[in-house]
Structure 1
């Protein structure tokens, strides 16, 4: 039997990049997967046809839209919060409205989605939030606001792990380093700078991140909670 057979999973932000790789892996492992997308309708449709997953258009910047999506997809066994945006630039020059939208998507959405899912989640459920190695370390100028949003996920996971532990629900953060996606391509302008920090001098792949998520959502990870799982090629070593 597949490791996630008869498990109902929701991936927030699943149409491209890391999110799409997570959808593929959870579906391959037997889960009944729903994923959200915002603007990438064609990519979402293609992924749904490939994997058999269901799609929902939802804006993760909206608390109402997020909680409604979680509620209607539930009760869940697995929630993966992958939706996120990055604004990098000098703090005195960044658009304040853009920073607030990033806070809505990167902090408020994971909190409200996790709490809403927990209301009806089965005992022994799994919540995984995709954070960033920049939650631990900001080794370049211009990363204050983004790093702040990712470090917030650490406290969220630690706190919710204690709140939900009596029900056997685990809460974990996966912290990727540079991963080859549209947001941070392996041949992008920051490649050489990022690789200079790293022990393994390459970008990771979305499938490698999905593999860690698969472990944390699987049956062997029931004793793993409130923890940060860094997968970054030694970027933060």
Structure 2
């Protein structure tokens, strides 16, 4: 038996405060469900795309105004076309800014040779936290100590009580688990080098004294009173690599 439910939802980006009112049938056929999905796409995507492109155009203008007029060139189609496509469906301002900087870089004689076609795909596969973490790494411009912190007992460790990677250098950027996922994603995209090893002259025992680690350890102890927990620090390092430096020069730095 199917059931009709009335849905009132405030539309997000591009809606101008409009409210979408519709009926959701919990017993739709596959064909009906597909048609509804495609209809929503046809109705709302063109407006979303237009607003995203308009915003990209504004950002591009801001970036090109930083360039000397004699240094401005036509864009490279191989990069410009997929960049515009990616920007047209992005709903994160910081990601659209990366697209704008990349497009502007292809039009700047001082940066054009560094605007690699792979940068479009890299931006496509980044989110806002990835961009924030990469910006922080670029700003630090040095080896960054990172730790795999585990709470161990009897040769085992508790799962999911600490992010896979943690560093005090990223405190304040947001949720620590989101930051850890961004570190892993940036490493996957080869925008940073993340490796097992220590930063010279850095005492990794500082991780044990970090407020976040101490709070998570206290939480683990409270919820595991029958276990004798200890903190284990596995030493890692983040370094900016050549392609990441090139990406930052085009897409992040002014």
TM interval, shorter chain, is under 0.3
Greater Rg over alpha carbons, structure: 2
Q: Using structure 1 for the length normalisation, give the TM-score.
A: 0.21
Between Structure 1 and Structure 2, the one with more helix by share is 2
Q: Using structure 2 for the length normalisation, give the TM-score.
A: 0.20
